[in-house]
C-alpha cells in the first residue's frame, strides 16, 4: 500500500487544502554549507522569490541566471482553525531537481526527480497557534544517474555550470503550487478507473485504496450533478446507461465521488472529474472509443518569459486557445511530466496527451540536436552510472503513471526521448523500463518513445518494445537544409520506405519536425531561418506524410519558441516555434491551421 496520497488537492467538508503560493525567502548556497550552518532553521541572508516560478530569469546578473548548485527556500504558515487534530501534509507539485523538506527544523523527506509531486507528513512537526517554518533545500546539478541527463562543469573560480545533454534551459526552483493539506486519520489514498463500452452504455471499473478498514462507497455524477451510478466496496463497477463518452475535442466529464463510511457516517470524501473513453492500437490505427484518430498538434515545453517553467493559468489558457485555433487535437509533454493543471485543462478541452517521463539526454552531447543523425556513439548505456539511472527512470515512470493514470486526456506514455538505441546495452536497459511500465497502468495504455535520426530501422535495437513508433526527424533542417531540400525529401522517403519494408503493422507518429525561424524574417526566394522557408519545409514534410498510410500523426516541433542554453546555433533560445515565445503566430501557423481544418 502507498504511504501517502498523491491525489490532486481536494477541498470539501472533510478535507482542507490551502496554497502557500506567493513570495518566499530564497538564498543560494554555492559552497554547500547551508546544511552544516543550520539553514534548516531559517535562512541567514535571504531575498524574496515568487513561488511558483523558476528563479533564473528574474535576475540581471548572468551568474545568478545560470546558478548551479545548492539553493534554499523558506516560508511561514499558520495552522488553519480546526486542523489541530487532523493528519497534515505539505504537497509540492514538483521540486527541481532534487530536494529535502524541513518543517520547524525537522527533516521530513528527500526526493529525487524534478517534475512530479513531493509530499511530506507534517502532523508531528507543526506547532498550533504559532508560526511554522517550512524550509526546502534544493539542488539543480545535472549528472548521468538522474533524469534529465547532463553534466556539471566546475569553472576555474569554483563556480558550477550546468551542461545539459538536452536542448532546453535547465530551469530550476519550486515550479508548481505548494499546498498544506488536512485529511482525516482514515482517508482515501488513491483510486484507479478503467472502462468497458457496451453499445450506448458503459461500465466504469474502479479500485479505491484507503489506509483503513471501513466501508467504501462510490458514485458517479453527470454534468448537472445528478447521480447516475452507485456502488459499494473498495473495488467494483459503476453501470452507466446511455453514457456520454469523452471524445477528442468534444469532452464530457463526469465527477466520481469516493467516500469512506463508518457507522453510516461519511468520514472522508474525495471527488474528481473523469472521462469515459477507451484507447487501443489496432494495426496501424490509434483508436479512441474504437474510432481511428489522426494526431495533430505539437511538442511543447513548460516555458514562458520571466516565469521559466513555473506554472501560470494565464499561459495555459492562451496555449490552449492557440492550439484550438490551429485545430490541433494533441500535444506531447516534452520532455517531462507537466504540472497537473495542464492535464485538467486538456481533460476539459478534449485534447489528447502523450505523457513523457523526463528520460532525455541519454547521449553524451551538449549539442545533441546536432549529434543526432551523425552516427555518433557515446557508450552511454555502458557507464557505471546505469544501474542508478535505471532505478530513477523506473521510479519516475511509476510516479508519473500514479499521478496521471485517471486523466482521460492521457492516451499513451512516452518512456524516452532521443536516447542511443543501437546497442544491446540500450535494449537491455529499456526492456527493464518497459517491463516495469506495463505493470503500472491499470488502463494498459500504449507505450512508446521518441527516436532520433541515428535510430535507423536497420540499426535501432529498441523499436520492437514500442506499441507505436515515434520519429523525431529534421530532413530539411539539420540534414540537407536550404537549397538541398529536394534531397531532404528524397532522404525522408528513403527512410520511410525502409520502415515500410519491415511490415511492422503499427502506427508511426512524427513527434518532432521543424526549422528554426526568426519571426519577421522574410526572404524571397526563401532561405533558412526565414518564415517562408518554415512554410516550405512543412509543406514538403506533409506531402511525404500523406503518401504513407501507416503515419498516423504529426506533432510538430515546437508549439512556441523556448529558452535553451547559450550557443552559436541558438539565437536567444530555440526558434522552431510555430508561435513566438509570447504566443503570436508565425506564417507557418496558417499552413497548419489550413491542413488540420481539412483532416
Task: Please give the DSSP secondary-structure letter assigned to residue 562.
Answer: B
Burial class (CB in 10 A: 0-12, 13-18, 19+), 579: buried
- Among residues 259, 418, 420, 452, the one annotated as catalytic is 418
> Taken in order 199, 203, 204, 207, is the CA torsion positive or negative?
negative
Closest among 188, 191, 233 to 442, alpha carbons compared: 191
Catalytic entry in 74, 272, 302, 512? 512
Any idea which residue has 542508478 for its cell? 388
The answer to whether the CB of 446 falls within 8 A of the CB of 413 is yes
* Alpha helix stretches (DSSP H) within 21-100: 62-65
- Contact 128/84 with Cβ under 8 angstroms? yes
The single-letter DSSP state of residue 213 is: -
Three-state secondary-structure class, residue 74: strand
349 catalytic per annotation: no
Q: Catalytic: 356?
A: no
Instruction: Return the half-sphere exposure (C-beta side, CA atoms, 13 A cut-off) of residue 182.
Output: 20
Judge whether 418 and 293 are in contact, CB under 8 Å. no
- DSSP state letter for 245: P
Is 380 strand, coil or helix? Answer: helix
Largest interatomic CA distance in the chain: 78
Q: How many residues does the chain have?
A: 599
Q: How far is it, in rounded angstroms, from Cα 133 to Cα 493?
A: 61
How far apart, in whole angstroms, are the C-alpha atoms of residue 303 and residue 169?
9
Active site residues: 418, 512
Amino acid at each position: 500500500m502507498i504511504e501517502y496520497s498523491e491525489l490532486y488537492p481536494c477541498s470539501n467538508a472533510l478535507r482542507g487544502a490551502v496554497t502557500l503560493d506567493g513570495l518566499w525567502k530564497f538564498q543560494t548556497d554555492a559552497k554547500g554549507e547551508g546544511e552544516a550552518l543550520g539553514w534548516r532553521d531559517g535562512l541567514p541572508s535571504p531575498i524574496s522569490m515568487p513561488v511558483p516560478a523558476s528563479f533564473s530569469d528574474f535576475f540581471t546578473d548572468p551568474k545568478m541566471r545560470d546558478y548551479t548548485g545548492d539553493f534554499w527556500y523558506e516560508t511561514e504558515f499558520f495552522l488553519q482553525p480546526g486542523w489541530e487534530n487532523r493528519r497534515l501534509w505539505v504537497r509540492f507539485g514538483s521540486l527541481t531537481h532534487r530536494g529535502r523538506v524541513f518543517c520547524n527544523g525537522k527533516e521530513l523527506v528527500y526526493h529525487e526527480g524534478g517534475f512530479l509531486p513531493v509530499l511530506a507528513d507534517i502532523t508531528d512537526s507543526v506547532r498550533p497557534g504559532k508560526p511554522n517554518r517550512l524550509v526546502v533545500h534544493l539542488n539543480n546539478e545535472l549528472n548521468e544517474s538522474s533524469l534529465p541527463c547532463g553534466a556539471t562543469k566546475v569553472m576555474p573560480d569554483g563556480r558550477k555550470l550546468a551542461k545539459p545533454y538536452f536542448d532546453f534551459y535547465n530551469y530550476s526552483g519550486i515550479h508548481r503550487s505548494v499546498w498544506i493539506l488536512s485529511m482525516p486519520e482514515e482517508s482515501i489514498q488513491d483510486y484507479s478507473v478503467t472502462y468497458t463500452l457496451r453499445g450506448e452504455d458503459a461500465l466504469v471499473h474502479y479500485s479505491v485504496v484507503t489506509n483503513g478498514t471501513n466501508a467504501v462507497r462510490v458514485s458517479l455524477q453527470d454534468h448537472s450533478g445528478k447521480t447516475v451510478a452507485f456502488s459499494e466496496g473498495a473495488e467494483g463497477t459503476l453501470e452507466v446507461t446511455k453514457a456520454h463518452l469523452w471524445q477528442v475535442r468534444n469532452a464530457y466529464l463526469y465527477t466520481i465521488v469516493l467516500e469512506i463510511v463508518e457507522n453510516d457516517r461519511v468520514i472522508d470524501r474525495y471527488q474528481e472529474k473523469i472521462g469515459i473513453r477507451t484507447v487501443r492500437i489496432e494495426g496501424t490505427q490509434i483508436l479512441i472509443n474504437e474510432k481511428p484518430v489522426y494526431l495533430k498538434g505539437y511538442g511543447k515545453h513548460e516555458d514562458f518569459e520571466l516565469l521559466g517553467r513555473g506554472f501560470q493559468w494565464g499561459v495555459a489558457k492562451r496555449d490552449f486557445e492557440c492550439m484550438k485555433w490551429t485545430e490541433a487535437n494533441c500535444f506531447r509533454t516534452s520532455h517531462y511530466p507537466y504540472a497537473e493543471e495542464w492535464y485538467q485543462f486538456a481533460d476539459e478541452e478534449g485534447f489528447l496527451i502523450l505523457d513523457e517521463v523526463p528520460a532525455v539526454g541519454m547521449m553524451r552531447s551538449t549539442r545533441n540536436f546536432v549529434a543526432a543523425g551523425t552516427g555518433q556513439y557515446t557508450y552511454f548505456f555502458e557507464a557505471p552510472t546505469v544501474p542508478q539511472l535505471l532505478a530513477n527512470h523506473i521510479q519516475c515512470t511509476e510516479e508519473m503513471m500514479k499521478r496521471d493514470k485517471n486523466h482521460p486526456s492521457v492516451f499513451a506514455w512516452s518512456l524516452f526521448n532521443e536516447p542511443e538505441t543501437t546497442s544491446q546495452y540500450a535494449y537491455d536497459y529499456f526492456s527493464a523500463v518497459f517491463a516495469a511500465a506495463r505493470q503500472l497502468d491499470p488502463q494498459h495504455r500504449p507505450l512508446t518513445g521518441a527516436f532520433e535520426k541515428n535510430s535507423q530501422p536497420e540499426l535501432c535495437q529498441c523499436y520492437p518494445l514500442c506499441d507505436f513508433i515515434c520519429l523525431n526527424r529534421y530532413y530539411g533542417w539539420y540534414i540537407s537544409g536550404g537549397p538541398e531540400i529536394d534531397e531532404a525529401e528524397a532522404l525522408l522517403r528513403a527512410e520511410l520506405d525502409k520502415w515500410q519494408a519491415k511490415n511492422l503493422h503499427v502506427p508511426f507518429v512524427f513527434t518532432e519536425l521543424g526549422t528554426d525561424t526568426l519571426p519577421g524574417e522574410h526572404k524571397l526566394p526563401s532561405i533558412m531561418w526565414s518564415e517562408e522557408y518554415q512554410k516550405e519545409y512543412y509543406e514538403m514534410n506533409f506531402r511525404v506524410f500523406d503518401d504513407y498510410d501507416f503515419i498516423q500523426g504529426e506533432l510538430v516541433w515546437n508549439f512556441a519558441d523556448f529558452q535553451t542554453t547559450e550557443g552559436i546555433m541558438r539565437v536567444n533560445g530555440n526558434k522552431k516555434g510555430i508561435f513566438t515565445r509570447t504566443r503570436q503566430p508565425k506564417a507557418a501557423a496558417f499552413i497548419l491551421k489550413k491542413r488540420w481544418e481539412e483532416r
